[in-house]
Amino acid sequence: MSDTNYDSAGIKSSVLNFVIDSSFGDKEKIDETTFLFREGYFDSMGFVSLIAFLEEKFSIQTADTDLVEENFETVNAITDFVQKKLTIKSN
C-alpha cells in the first residue's frame, strides 16, 4: 500500500527501517550516513528489493538513468532521491 504524504523525516525513517530490516550486516552500525553498498550491507538482491520498496511505498518510478551511486549510496542520498521524485510527480 502506498502513502502519499511524506516529509523528509518520514521518508528517512521509512528507508532506514527498511535498510535495517533487510540488510545482513551489523544493524547497530547502520545510520543515515552509512555507505550501504561500499560497506557491503546490500548486494544485488538487496538493491532490487530497495528499488521495489521505494516504488511501492512512495508510488514513484525509477528509470535506468536513476540507478547511480549518488542516488543510493546512503539513507540520506535515498531520501533526497525520493523527495526529488515526489516533487517532480506533484508538479
Partner 1 sequence: MQLHKDILVFDNVASVCENIQNEIRSQIFSVLHRRGAVVGISGGVDSSVTLALAATALGPDKVLGLMLPERDSSSESALLAQKLADTFGVKTITEDITGALEGFGCYRRRDEAVSVVFPEYDPKTYKMKIGIRQSGLKTGLPPVFYLTIVKPDGSEESKILPVNQYAQIVAASNFKQRSRMSMLYYHAERLHYAVVGTPNKHEVEQGFFVKYGDGGADLMPIGNFYKTQVYQLAKHLGVPEEIIKRTPTTDTYSAEQTQEEFFYQLPFEQMDLMWYAFENNISATEVAPVMDMSADEVEKIFLSFHRKQQTTDYLRRGPIHF
Selected binder of partner 1 within 45, 88, 90, 91 (CB under 8 A): 45
* 42: contact with partner 1 by CB under 8 A: yes
The phi, psi pair for 67, rounded to 5°, reads -80, 65
Contact indicator for 79, 6 with CB cutoff of 8 Å? no
* 43: contact with partner 1 by CB under 8 A: yes
**11 versus 77: smaller Cβ distance to partner 1:** 77
Per-residue x/- marks for partner 1, 3-22, CB under 8 A?
--------------------
* Cell matching residue 46: 538487496
> Which residue, 49, 46, 51, 52, is CA-closest to 67?
51
